Amino acid sequence: MEQLQSFLPLVLIFVVLYFFMIRPQMKKQKQEKNFINDIKKGDRIVTKSGLHGKVADTSEKLDAIIIETGSGKMTFDKSAISLELTSKLNNPKEDKKK
């Protein structure tokens, strides 16, 4: 019984780390993956570098997105699209509520 009690704090630390650090990170990665796969022509997006634009086309072969901006069209990798900045762009009222 004493051996079990000596491991209990270690087990509790692992459980707390899982629920407060590992699980939320996995959920966020899953959200970003779904967001990137669901991008379609005409969506307004923001890249991680802050470039605003509208999706002109997607290239599955290159795993890239062609973005139409005020100065022309640019090609970006899908990984360069920011989930947080794009959701703020498309839902500005949610920011004001916080």
Q: What residue segments make up the domains of the chain, in order of their start?
A: 1-38, 40-98
Q: What is the pLDDT of residue 96?
A: 56
Q: What is the pLDDT of residue 92?
A: 74
Q: What is the pLDDT of residue 86?
A: 86
Per this entry, what is the length of the chain? Answer: 98
Q: What is the pLDDT of residue 97?
A: 55
Here the tokens at position 8 are 């209990």
The top-level CATH class assigned to 40-98 is mainly beta
Residue ranges for the chain with pLDDT beneath 50: none
Q: What is the pLDDT of residue 17?
A: 93
How confident is the prediction for the chain on average, in pLDDT? 88
Quote the percentage of the chain above a pLDDT of 70.
95
Tell me the CA distances in angstroms from 39 to 8, 22, 45, 69, one per residue in order: 46, 26, 9, 16
